[in-house]
Amino acid sequence: MAEHTIKAFDEEIDRLRGLIAEMGGRAEAAIENAMLALQRHDKVLAAEVVADDRRIDAIEAEVEKLVVEVIALRAPMANDLRDVIAALKIVSVVERIGDYAKNIAKRVPLVATNSRTVEPISLLPSMGQVAGEMVHDVLNAYAARDADLALAVVERDTVVDDFYNSVFRTLVTYMVENPKTISECAHLLFIAKNIERIGDHSTNVAEMVYYAATGKTLPERERGPDIQMED
């Protein structure tokens, strides 16, 4: 590339990374606010999380447009091209994470229908916090191409999976003992599942970051609580 093209390309890559960082920050805030709304039965905050998800979707569209422009105008080679394509993949995962947070927020009004709190809710905020930290750390790992931090995110996913298994068992027991709460508990199950999926997707990004930084793939893990539940 000519010097001025390289400079323009670098600026566009910076803009791309800036958009991804903003998107990640918004996804992280969405998780935090969705969990807060759940704890406080705050329907207004929940509605805000749902509405704010449009901004996350809009940033994804902006990144896609910018990637097409960068490729068309700068014709990046080999590694640069792969980086730009990887950005597309990362934003599609962050968009999914935003969707999960939105789904949690959408369930807030369904969980506290009888103005009483379903007890097993107590594990969920901690679970949400771990997942939120994973999103935070994996985006830092991406920005800094930090393989160690990416690996730490991958390893932390078992914490989220363990939380999920506890929540699942606790909720099922609670439903058996309190059949009137079954409908609310079913929504809590879905919320737990959404948080568990946020952990999975953060892990997917972490694996990509690790590969980009080291050229090595992590050993295949059979993830997910379904497998563990079969034990």
Q: Which residues bind its own copies (CB under 8 A)?
A: 64, 67-68, 71-72, 75, 77-78, 81-82, 85, 88-89, 92, 103, 106-107, 109-110, 168, 171-172, 175-176, 179-180, 182-183, 186, 189-190, 193, 224, 226-227, 229-230
Which amino acid would we find at residue 128?
G
Closer to its own copies by Cβ: residue 149 or 209: 209
Nearest alpha-carbon partner for 105 in 192, 19, 43, 12 = 43
Q: What is the 3-state secondary structure (H, E, C) of 26-93?
A: HHHHHHHHHHHHHHHCCHHHHHHHHHHHHHHHHHHHHHHHHHHHHHHHHCCCHHHHHHHHHHHHHHHH
Provide the minimum distance between the beta carbon of 221 and its own copies in the complex, in angstroms, as a whole number. Answer: 14
Provide the minimum distance between the beta carbon of 29 and its own copies in the complex, in angstroms, as a whole number. Answer: 21
Provide the minimum distance between the beta carbon of 148 and its own copies in the complex, in angstroms, as a whole number. Answer: 25
Closer to its own copies by Cβ: residue 179 or 215: 179
Residue reference for tokens 């990640």: 24
Provide the minimum distance between the beta carbon of 177 and its own copies in the complex, in angstroms, as a whole number. Answer: 8
Provide the minimum distance between the beta carbon of 133 and its own copies in the complex, in angstroms, as a whole number. Answer: 24
CA pseudo-torsion sign 83, 86, 90, 91? positive
Closer to its own copies by Cβ: residue 116 or 180: 180
Sequence-separated (6 or more) residues with CB below 8 Å from residue 180: none
Nearest alpha-carbon partner for 24 in 131, 87, 97 = 97
Closer to its own copies by Cβ: residue 28 or 80: 80
Closer to its own copies by Cβ: residue 87 or 130: 87
